[in-house]
Amino acid sequence: MLVSQHISKRENQVAANNANAATIQSSMRRTYESNLFVKNIPSEIQEAELTALFEEVGPVISIKLRQGKYFNPSAAYRQYFVLYRDIDCAKKAIQRFDQSTPFGARALSVQFWMPTQELHQEREQRSFNEVQQYFMKNLYSAAVGGQQYGQPGM
């Protein structure tokens, strides 16, 4: 049984329906890709209002208030996780609601959310690829620079 802060219910359903671990992992990845992080929601807005707003774009599986070690219940603005059924709806929600002001003066920030561990892995892979490209480019330019007037290099 998989347990995670925001997607445990959905992942438990997937785990119950599919015994194959690879299927569960790919399903988790799709779930992360349809999960949004929304900032600047006024504290007086109820979850039902927020759900109604985000369901204008597509079916919402869940909306969860971000709580953690730095959570301040008396803050004027809050942050939520919005989980859509599919990635296309999540993309539409970003296009429609990012930098919009449906609740007043402060613009919403709507972006894809990814777990910290996967985010770090993605950044490390991107950094590794950039370093590898840099060295390959320098190696190639050194090899090409060693050639003179059509003569083979060393």
User: At 102, which CATH number?
Assistant: 3.30.70.330
CA-CA-CA-CA torsion sign (78, 56, 60, 118): negative
Domain range enclosing 2: 1-33
pTM above 0.75, yes or no: no
And the tokens for 8?
Answer: 């445990």
- 152 domain residue, yes or no: no
Are 121 and 101 within one domain? Answer: no
- Alpha helix stretches (DSSP H) within 98-148: 116-145
73 and 96 together in one domain: yes
User: pLDDT tens across 31-52, in order?
Assistant: 567 889 898 888 888 889 999 9
pLDDT in tens, 69-79: 677 777 788 88
Residue pair 26/84 in contact by the 8 Å Cβ criterion: no
Number of domains the chain is built from = 3
Same domain assignment for residues 18 and 77: no
Q: Assess whether 106 and 39 both reside in one domain.
A: yes
Q: Is residue 154 part of a domain?
A: no
Domain for residue 153, yes or no? no
Q: Is 24 among the domain residues?
A: yes
